[in-house]
Structure 1
C-alpha cells in the first residue's frame, strides 16, 4: 500500500483540493480520464489561478487505466453522473483499511457504498467556487463551505485526520455528525442553482430577482419535503438556510436567506454555476440526472409530488440537446406550467 493522497478527478474540485494538499506538504497523485489534462499536469504541473492563491504544483498524474498500486486515501471528485464508473475503476486501488472521501455534489455516497463497502466511504460536502479552465489549469474563485463526517455520525480517528487535512485547505471547515443533513441541504440549494442555470444571468442576479423568488422557493420546498420525509434535518451554509424554505417559514425569513445567498455569491469571482458552465461553455451533459432525479424518484416512492423538480430536469435535458435556449423566459415557463 502506498501513502499518497489520490485525487480521483482533477477538475475544479479535485484540482483545487489536491493543489492545497500539496502546498500543505502532502504527497498527491492525480487521476483523471482527460488525457490532455493528465499530460499537461505531468509536463508543466497543475496551475491554480484566482484570488485565493495562485501557484503551480507538481504531482504525478495518471489515466485510470494506468494507475498502479493500492492507496489508503482516495478523494473522489468526479461529476456525480460519473460516480459509479469511477467507483468501479478505483475499488481495486483502495486498501482494505482505506477510505473514499466523496467530495462531490449529490448523494453519491449511496452509489459508492455498494461498490467499495459502506465502511470505506466518508461523507463530504463542498461549496467553494472553482472551475476547470483548460488542460493543466483550474481557477479557484471563492471560499465556501467544506464539511466532512462519517456516514453514521460517529467520531473516529480517521474522520479527525481527514478533518485536519481539510482545515489545511479551508480553515473554517466543519466536522459534523450530520453529514446527510449537509448533503440534503446542498441538494435543496443545488435545485436553486439548476433553476439559475436555465438562464444566462448570474447566480446572484437570478436569486436577487424578486420576480423569480416565488418559483425558486417552491422548488426548494419540494426538495425539502423529500428530505424531511427521509428523517433528514438539512443544515445551513453560505447564506442558505433550509428552515427559510420550510412550509411554515415566514416570508421575511425566506427573503433573508435569499439576500444572504446573493451576498455570498457576489463575493465570489465564480458568477455562474458549474451547471451553467457545462451547458453554455463546455457543451456537455450536466449532473441533473445524478442530483435532481434521485429527489424526484425518492419523492415518488414516498408519495411526495415534485412537479417543479421534474420540469427542471426536462428543461435541462432540452438545453443539453440544443432544443431550448438559456433564457429567463424558462423560469417564467417553469412557474406557469406547474401553477
Structure 2
C-alpha cells in the first residue's frame, strides 16, 4: 500500500514507470515527494523493489528507492496521479486507476497524443489535466531508464483556466524541469506535438538518427508537407498551436514559405544533436523492442479529425500504413520507405 504522509499533497502515484514516468518520478523522489510507482511490467516492478530505479545519462547517474506495484497488487488512494503510459494503453490505465483516485483528486496525462479526451470517457473531465513533455528518455531494462536530453514540460487545465491546483501541479513538475510551463493552451502544445510526432514517425521508418534524418535535403519537402497536413487539421479544429524546442508551427501553416519550414527543421536538427537520445522511442519500439507503436493513438487523431473537418490527410494516412507494415514484420526499416512516401506525395500534388 502507498506510504501515508501527513501532507497528502506530497504523495504522488506514477502510473507507468517507463521512460517518462520513471524519469519524472525519480526526480520527484529526489525533491522529497512520496512517490509510488505502478507498471504492468512485473519484471520492472520487481527490479525497482529489489534494487531501486536507476537513472543514467548526461545529467548524472543515480538510484532511487520507492514502492512499486503492478495494477492488481496496488492498494490505497491518491489525490495526484500522473498517468505516463504509452498512449495506446490510456483507456485501460484510466479504468484501472479510477479506484485509486480520491474524490476530488486529479489525474495528469503526461503522454503523447490527445489522451485527456480518452481519459474523460472514464473519469470526470473536471478531474483530468493535460501535460506535454518533449524530453528524451528511454527504458533500457528492468529498473533502468536513460535520461538523454532536456526538453519542454508543460501543464494546464483542459479548458485553459489558471487554477490553484494547476499552479500546485506546475510547482511539482518544476522539481523535475525547473523551466516547466503553466499554460492556458495545453492542447495547442499537444497538437504541435502531433505535427512534430508525424516527423518523428517518418524518421523512424529509417535507421537514421532523428537529426540525420531531418537533415536530409531530399526529404525536406516530405517533412514540410507532413507538418502542414497536421497544421491544416489543427486549424480546422480551432486549435492555436504552440512552438517548442525548434518546432515552429507558424512555419508549417499553409501560408508559410518553404524557407520558414526549412529554418524550423534546422532548429529541430540542432535540438536533437544536443541530446544523448539519438533515435526516437518510435524507432526503439520498431527496431529494438519489436512492439506496437503509438501511431494510431497519435497520428490516428490527425486522420480522424481530418475526416471530421473535411481536410485531406493522405500523407499522414500513408505513413500510418507504413508503420503498421513494419510492426507486422512485412516491411523492413530503410530509406526506401521515405522514397515511397515522397513518391506518393508527388502523385497527390500532381
Residue in 2 that maps onto 1:16 = 23
Corresponding residue of 2:185: 178
Q: CA deviation at 1:96?
A: 0.8
Instruction: Give the superposition deviation at 1:297.
Output: 1.1
Distance, in Å, in 2 between the alignment partners of 1:279 and 1:331 is 16
How much is the aligned-residue C-alpha RMSD, in angstroms? 0.9
> Which of 250, 254, 258 matches 2:261?
254
Q: How far off its partner does 1:338 sit?
A: 3.3
Number of the residue aligned with 1:45: 52
Q: How many residues align?
A: 339
> What per-residue deviation string (whole Å, max 9, x for no partner) do you get for residues 9-39 of structure 1?
0000000000000000000000000000000
Give the Å deviation of 1:53: 2.6
The residue matched to 1:248 in structure 2 has which SS? coil
Residue 60 (structure 1) aligns with: 67
How far did residue 252 of structure 1 move?
2.1
Secondary structure of the 1:276 match is helix
Using the size of structure 2 for normalisation, the TM-score is 0.96
Cα deviation 1:135-156 (Å, max 9, x = unaligned) = 0000000000100011111111
- For 1:267-286, list aligned pairs within 5 A: 267-286=274-293
- Tell me, in whole angstroms, the C-alpha distance in 2 between the residues paired with 1:236 and 1:294: 20
Q: Does 1:124 align with 2:124?
A: no
Partners of 2:121 and 2:102 in 1: how far apart? 16
Partner in structure 2 of residue 26 of structure 1: 33
- Deviation at residue 171 of structure 1 after TM alignment: 1.1
The aligned counterpart of 2:328 is: 321
Q: Which runs of 4+ in 1 moved over 3 A?
A: none
Pairing partner for 1:296 from 279, 291, 303 = 303
Q: Give the aligned partner of residue 82 of structure 2.
A: 75
Q: Contact (CA 8 Å) 2:282, 2:294: kept in 1 or not?
A: yes
Match of 2:100 in 1: 93
Partner of 1:139: 146
For 1:70-98, what per-residue CA distance to the aligned partner results, in whole angstroms no more than 9, with x for missing partners?
A: 11000000000000000000011101110
Shift of 1:248: 1.1
Residue 245 in 1 paired to residue 252 in 2? Answer: yes
Q: TM-score, normalised by structure 1?
A: 0.99
Partner in structure 2 of residue 224 of structure 1: 231
**1:168 Cα deviation from its structure 2 partner:** 1.2
Q: Structure 2 CA distance, aligned partners of 1:52 and 1:236?
A: 25
Map of 1:115 onto structure 2: 122
Contact 2:222 2:345 in 1 (8 A): no
Q: In the TM superposition, what whole-angstrom CA distance separates every residue of 1:231-266 from its partner, at most 9, and x where no partner exists?
A: 101100000000001111122211110110000000
Is there any run of 5+ residues in structure 2 with no aligned partner, and where?
none
Q: Give secondary structure in 2 for the equivalent of 1:116.
A: coil
Give unpaired runs (5+ residues) of structure 1: none
